[in-house]
Structure 1
Amino acid sequence: MKSIEEKVHLPDPQTQFLVHPLDLPGARKEFLAGWWLGIVATPQVYTALLAFFWAVSNNYVTPVLVPLVMVVIAGWLGAKLTRGAWDYIPRKRHDMDRRMTAMTIVASLIKSLALFVGLLVFMAWTANQDFVPGFSAYPLGMGAAIVLIMAGELVVKLVRRRSVVVISDAISLAVVAVAVWIAFGVLPAGRELAPVDLLPGAAILAGVWLSWLLFSQREAQRNHG
């Protein structure tokens, strides 16, 4: 049987059997590009974009569809780049459990700060506008749903004792919760929202989050077999 010639120089398996794309100059650029696009293709950034487009558009369709198209494209490109980066490495040598503490924390901060800014900009713009009381219900419903989902995920990770992920998720949850709390707090008098008003936005976010989870799991299986 002919031996297969490696096109990429991998570390000696005797000294480092498991390899991550960050270990290889050729794969590192693709992996980092996919990582950045993966941040864009998250429910938090989607909600931040929705809040922005909700403020600048004059209908209920554009704020939902335009951010959705943007995050879908980012997710597709990011997944393609990430898959290409892992393809440099034989699957049996994939270091899937590599701890990337700094990148994990940075990603959490970027996503939470994006949502923080998006919600506050939206509420600052709408505060002096003559809109119907339910105009803010969609983005605020999505924000409230994100807080609940993130809190649930944090509890699960606490049970599993994933210390690094827990720290970054706790920071992210705190930032997002403060943003949502402020957004509700600056609602003008007469525009208070009942819990039922938040349900449509929460339902949209739940659907986006579920789709994101399924997509992430499918891509992980494709990348690592």
Structure 2
Amino acid sequence: MTTLEEAPTAMEELVDLPDPETQPLVHPLDLPAARTDFRNGWLVGAATSLPVAALVAGIIAYLTRSVVAPIVVFLALSIFGALASRFAINRAWDHIPRKRQDRERPLPRSWDLGAAAILALALGVALLLVVYRLDDADVPLDVRSFTFGMSAVAALLVVADALVGLVRPAGRDRALASLPGVLVVAVATVLAYGAWFDGNAEGSLVFWGAVSMAAAGLLVGAGKLRERRVSARAAQQ
């Protein structure tokens, strides 16, 4: 019987880990035996993340006009998806002794883009449903005008955030991963104007919608700045 002290050695022999002299830390992506489990676990996690689950639940609510169905879908995706993802990823890490696990290694950039693309797809469907719902005859023009003003500023904030991230080296990876979502938001905003208005948008309501969203953006930005300063101050102590 293998003792606890012998377990790492037995595991190394079983999985054929890289030489610890040349590569002391190992990631599941380095091992063919663990790579599939890790990739599948990540994919399930990306497809069932909380934002994706919430957007899918919203789409289900729109299509079914039901209260129960979207709740069931959200809980099923978020809970069972998280459990399945964690199970597969943990099984991948089990191939590597704990002392040699490279838990801090960043994932490939293409994976971040893939996760962003999944979220962008769900976001795009949800936004299109909102666009065409507000195009119905029972929605007053003033509601569309105010909503478009808010949407236009929100789109500008999203685009500006991505551009700032691309300029700053520290935020470039995050900005690149956000590009699919940025594109979806920009396209949805353009489609909204074409679907909602025929040159009859109420300018004053568009303006006040834009002002309200700009104010909300300033508040959020101030909150993030304060949080960043608090974190930096705590790190210095």
Residues 75/55 of structure 1: CA separation in 2 closer, same or farther (3 Å cut):
same
Q: Which amino acid aligns with 1:124?
A: Y
Overall identity of the aligned pairs, in %: 26
Q: TM-score, normalised by structure 1?
A: 0.62
CA distance, structure 1, for counterparts of residue 112 and residue 118 of structure 2: 10
CA distance, structure 2, for counterparts of residue 150 and residue 77 of structure 1: 34
Which of residues 62, 67, 89 in structure 1 aligns to 2:68?
A: 62
Aligned to 2:33, the other structure's residue is in SS state helix
Number of the residue aligned with 1:75: 82
Residues 147/46 of structure 1: CA separation in 2 closer, same or farther (3 Å cut):
farther
CA drift at 1:161: 0.7
Number of the residue aligned with 2:174: 165
Residues 51/184 of structure 1: CA separation in 2 closer, same or farther (3 Å cut):
farther
Number of the residue aligned with 1:223: none
Question: Is the CA contact (8 Å cut-off) linking 1:151 and 1:173 kept in structure 2?
Answer: no
Residues 73/16 of structure 1: CA separation in 2 closer, same or farther (3 Å cut):
same
Aligned to 2:37, the other structure's residue is in SS state helix
Number of the residue aligned with 1:204: none
Residues 103/175 of structure 1: CA separation in 2 closer, same or farther (3 Å cut):
same
CA drift at 1:49: 0.8
1:5-154 equivalences in 2 (<5 Å): 5-6=10-11, 7-59=14-66, 61-62=67-68, 64-69=70-75, 70-95=77-102, 96-124=104-132, 127-128=135-136
Aligned to 2:15, the other structure's residue is in SS state coil
CA distance, structure 2, for counterparts of residue 15 and residue 9 of structure 1: 14
Q: Which amino acid aligns with 2:119?
A: K
Query: What is the aligned length?
Result: 194
| Structure (1/2) with the larger helix percentage | 2
CA distance, structure 2, for counterparts of residue 109 and residue 41 of structure 1: 13
Q: TM-score, normalised by structure 2?
A: 0.60
Number of the residue aligned with 1:178: 186
CA drift at 1:108: 1.2
Residue segments in structure 2 that go unaligned for 5+ positions in a row = 144-149, 210-237
Residues 150/34 of structure 1: CA separation in 2 closer, same or farther (3 Å cut):
farther
CA drift at 1:83: 1.7
Q: Which amino acid aligns with 1:161?
A: A
CA drift at 1:39: 1.0
* Higher RCO by CA contacts (8 Å cutoff, separation 6 or greater): 1
